[in-house]
A and B are shown apart, each in its own frame.
Chain A
Amino acid sequence: MLQVHRDICGYCGCCVSVCPEGALELIDAYLVVGEECTGCGICAKVCPLGALEVVDEAEL
């Protein structure tokens, strides 16, 4: 599952452009994660600030 750390995110849209599933959308100043997300982590890798994290659902 993808977690967005809103306190870190700079709402820039960089992550949106690389998501192969089109699962992310930047709505003004917040990011939404759609059901299509597979947890692949590509977006988390490219985020310039490190605001995204793929977390194991079992650990939540």
Chain B
Amino acid sequence: MKQNYDLLVIGGGPGGAVAARTAAEKGFSVCMVEKRPAIGVPIRCAEGIGKDVLSEFITPDSKFISAEIKRARLVAPDSTSMMLESEMAGSKVGYILDRKVFDRELAWQAADAGADVFVKTRASAPIIVGGEVKGATLEHCGTRREVHADIVIAADGVESKFSRWCGMNTTVPVREIMSSVQYLMTDIDIDPHTTVFFLGNEVAPQGYLWIFPKGERSANVGIGISGKKSGAGHRARDYLDRFVSATFPEGKTIECVVGGVSVCKPLECTVADGLMVIGDAARVVDPLTGGGIYNAMFTGKLAVEVAEKAIEAGNFSKSALMDYDTRWRESFMGKAIARNYQIKEYFVTLSDEKLNALIQSASKMNLSEFSTLALIKELIRRNPKLLTELAALRASLG
């Protein structure tokens, strides 16, 4: 480990790894530190990602893909279901990754591109000089050292502390944390190419329960409920256990995943002097779906592109880095977050009766593109009243 780098990346998830890889490819000296002893474990993810967006960052490879997804099924509280398919018949719309291998592959690529990578190495404090973040104190197996960098990228995930230590407010409102548990189950009857989403206040209050295939007879069976609805005797685990014992009584659980997904608005500002915040740490998860893998990679790459200009200009101030904040907000991803936040705020108010009515409006939908936006547009077409209720969204839905 050197004492000085152009960039120091804190966290070895998909956001941090893509940032480190991008920086190394651009010829910068970059160091990525991960506090856990191994990249990619324990996983905290249902591992779903869209086909197109994955290819933006990595060539899909069977070694980190567990299943190919062709369609999705939404199940209403009254068990009515709606099948969502892509108009492009037969084409796959997404993947269920094997994140243990996927995260590792990204870190590998970062290292191959020239990044320094350290595991079991935790950032425990920022180095702040004259109000500007200049590096971090790193702790590794009982040793402590200071590493300086022109720019620090905080990619430290949902449990992020670094940007808070630098003075940012990162607290997720209780009602906007999805308290989640998931079992990787095997020996269960599933459709290996369909993701299933169960909605309803009895099944998963202000959240959803999912079955994401991991193979012919295996799947991630998980749930996220609003923190507001969680409490003793009615936690995510209680809901999931009830579902699993009713639906897959003979199934075997070979892994238990726990996690929190933020579905709040992103941080008010994702840069400070010498600091850029990306991925879950920046709270850029899609508030409707809870998906954050792509958003982490997207913000990781964009942050480095802006950092490149700052480094060339020798200016690491907040205003020099601000372009990152502006650009992700204006991007397709930023707009999707803003829109889906509004849609999520509406959906969490829906009674089971309304959810039933929405899903009953079609047993099958052929979407022009496989996205939440296309689904919402179709739902509105079939339930025109929705648009009055979603008035705030009219402009952005086009």
Please give the residue numbers on chain A whose beta carbons come within 8 Å of chain B beta carbons, in ascending order: 10-20, 22, 25-28, 42, 45-50
CA distance A25 to B35 in the complex (A): 12
CA distance A50 to B232 in the complex (A): 7
Which B residues are in CB contact (< 8 Å) with A25? 159, 161
The minimal Cβ–Cβ distance linking A59 to chain B, given in whole angstroms, is 17
CA distance A45 to B331 in the complex (A): 35
- B164, A14: Cβ atoms under 8 Å? no
- A28, B120: Cβ atoms under 8 Å? yes
- A12, B259: Cβ atoms under 8 Å? yes
- A13, B235: Cβ atoms under 8 Å? no
The minimal Cβ–Cβ distance linking B213 to chain A, given in whole angstroms, is 23
Chain B 237-266, CB within 8 Å of chain A: the 1/0 string?
100000000000000000011111010000
- B260, A14: Cβ atoms under 8 Å? yes
B181 part of interface (Cβ distance < 8 Å): yes
- Interface extent on B, as a size class? 35 or more
B22 part of interface (Cβ distance < 8 Å): no
* Total residue contacts A-B, CB cutoff 8 A: 93
Which B residues are in CB contact (< 8 Å) with A47? 179, 230, 235
B66 part of interface (Cβ distance < 8 Å): no
The minimal Cβ–Cβ distance linking B262 to chain A, given in whole angstroms, is 6
Chain B 165-184, CB within 8 Å of chain A: the 1/0 string?
00000111110010111000
Q: Which residues of B123-175 have CB atoms within 8 Å of chain A's CB atoms?
A: 157-161, 164, 170-174
A28-B37, A50-B235 as given contacts; A14 in contact with B180, CB under 8 Å: yes
Which A residues are in CB contact (< 8 Å) with B158? 12-14, 16-17
CA distance A12 to B237 in the complex (A): 14
Which A residues are in CB contact (< 8 Å) with B37? 28
Which A residues are in CB contact (< 8 Å) with B171? 17-20, 22
Additional pairs, 13, CB under 8 Å, beyond known A28-B122, A48-B230? A10-B256, A12-B158, A12-B259, A13-B158, A14-B159, A14-B260, A17-B160, A22-B161, A27-B35, A28-B36, A28-B37, A42-B174, A48-B259
B42 part of interface (Cβ distance < 8 Å): yes
Which B residues are in CB contact (< 8 Å) with A46? 174, 177, 179, 227, 230, 260
- A14, B177: Cβ atoms under 8 Å? yes
Which A residues are in CB contact (< 8 Å) with B237? 48-50
- B179, A16: Cβ atoms under 8 Å? no
Which A residues are in CB contact (< 8 Å) with B35? 27-28
Which A residues are in CB contact (< 8 Å) with B159? 12-14, 16-17, 25-26
B398 part of interface (Cβ distance < 8 Å): no
CA distance A45 to B179 in the complex (A): 10
Complex: chain B residue closest to A10, CB-CB: B258
Which A residues are in CB contact (< 8 Å) with B122? 27-28
CA distance A7 to B144 in the complex (A): 29
Complex: chain A residue closest to B180, CB-CB: A48
Cβ contacts A to B, 7 pairs, < 8 Å = A12-B259, A14-B258, A18-B177, A22-B171, A28-B36, A45-B174, A50-B237
- B260, A13: Cβ atoms under 8 Å? yes
CA distance A14 to B260 in the complex (A): 4
CA distance A53 to B237 in the complex (A): 16
- A48, B161: Cβ atoms under 8 Å? no
